[in-house]
Chain A
């Protein structure tokens, strides 16, 4: 084969050589069948081979939700739809433990926060359960006035008793029980220890007793110009009629009060001028109020008291009295009220004012 500087002397022969060289070089392009494609057979130049057009296995991309896009030719775009509570899809992560979103997904960070809180809550719930297990069931008590006590093992209900009953211990000394007090018994309703008192009142006295008994001891006034007396139901009308016999030193006297506005303003029950404790003669005594709930008759009362009158010719006075209270209403309160002066009432050692109910 001549080069571009050679003199062409035999053109046909040169073409023949050229043609053969081309044939030889392009021999791999020969052959093949419809649809085949040319592929390199090796790394050598012009080393080709015809192969079937079946290289790769994707001829189309078909999508279903949440995948979107696809096709059979060209550059195919694929996307994933956002997830929702009604469709699957791609979701955004979130560290929030407080969001109310229904499309975000929790990260491990958020899950851990929730887990930690759940662990804490679980511990607290366990403690609460332990406490609850040890607690007294609310349903143990079923009726107003029920009380609770422990039997040999667990808290137990003691049903409310009936009116006037008192709490006692059963014969086996194993449990409390309600018992009807035996006739003639005394029940302490209330105790007062006056201290610089200007007066006091026992109110809302139960009507469940037959009689009332008021006892007192150690009453001392802060001066010798003050007097305290008794009223019933805070009644200051002219309804008190009393007859009092009293001894002052060696004399015997009588002080009657008809239509008085308190027990006896001449000789007040809780004393007058009782300001000398030097002889241990502070005011002490009792009043017995009969059938105080009766609404058919005037109330009757008797009593006695003793005190040291430190005014004027000081002497010990001893009183015995009977009194009627011209009111039909049941007695529900007893007032110890100051009739005169500005002094106050105090109790000396071991003294008190007590109201008793008599069965």
Chain B
């Protein structure tokens, strides 16, 4: 039973190169990776959005770009 996704294994000791389909465990891991990746991207996007919101609020208080940058980095 194949899963259609191939993985290349390079044996550094012998130089042998094997291309094989992902195992069931690797397919399962890939699904978990997909969720982990999406979660990490959302955290990063939220962080960027929060920074942009803070920048906008600080600017609204009358701070210059340099002043905002000195606070937020």
Whether B32 pairs with A206 at a CB distance below 8 angstroms is no
Q: Does B66 sit at the interface, judged by CB under 8 A?
A: no
Whether A203 pairs with B9 at a CB distance below 8 angstroms is yes
Return the chain B residue nearest A337 by Cβ.
Answer: B33
Whether B5 pairs with A198 at a CB distance below 8 angstroms is yes
Q: Does A252 sit at the interface, judged by CB under 8 A?
A: yes
Chain B interface residue count, CB cutoff 8 Å, equals 27
User: What is the size category of the interface that chain A forms with chain B?
Assistant: 20 to 34
B41 CB to nearest A CB, Å:
7
Q: Does B40 sit at the interface, judged by CB under 8 A?
A: yes
Whether A192 pairs with B7 at a CB distance below 8 angstroms is no
Interface string of B1-32 (1 = CB under 8 A from A): 00001111111111100000010000001101
**CB contact under 8 A between A339 and B33, given known A198-B6, A255-B44:** yes
Whether B5 pairs with A203 at a CB distance below 8 angstroms is no
Q: Does A91 sit at the interface, judged by CB under 8 A?
A: no
Q: Does B59 sit at the interface, judged by CB under 8 A?
A: no
Binds B, one of A17-25, A73-81, A257-265: A257-265
Specify which chain A residues have a CB less than 8 angstroms from the CB of B40 in the assembled complex.
257, 260, 265-266
Return the chain A residue nearest B11 by Cβ.
Answer: A204
Whether B43 pairs with A200 at a CB distance below 8 angstroms is no
Whether B36 pairs with A204 at a CB distance below 8 angstroms is no
Return the chain A residue nearest B13 by Cβ.
Answer: A204
Specify which chain B residues have a CB less than 8 angstroms from the CB of A199 in the assembled complex.
7-8
Q: Does B73 sit at the interface, judged by CB under 8 A?
A: yes
Chain A positions within 8 Å of B, measured between CB atoms, are: 189-190, 192, 194, 197-206, 227, 236, 252-253, 255, 257, 260-262, 265-268, 337-340, 355
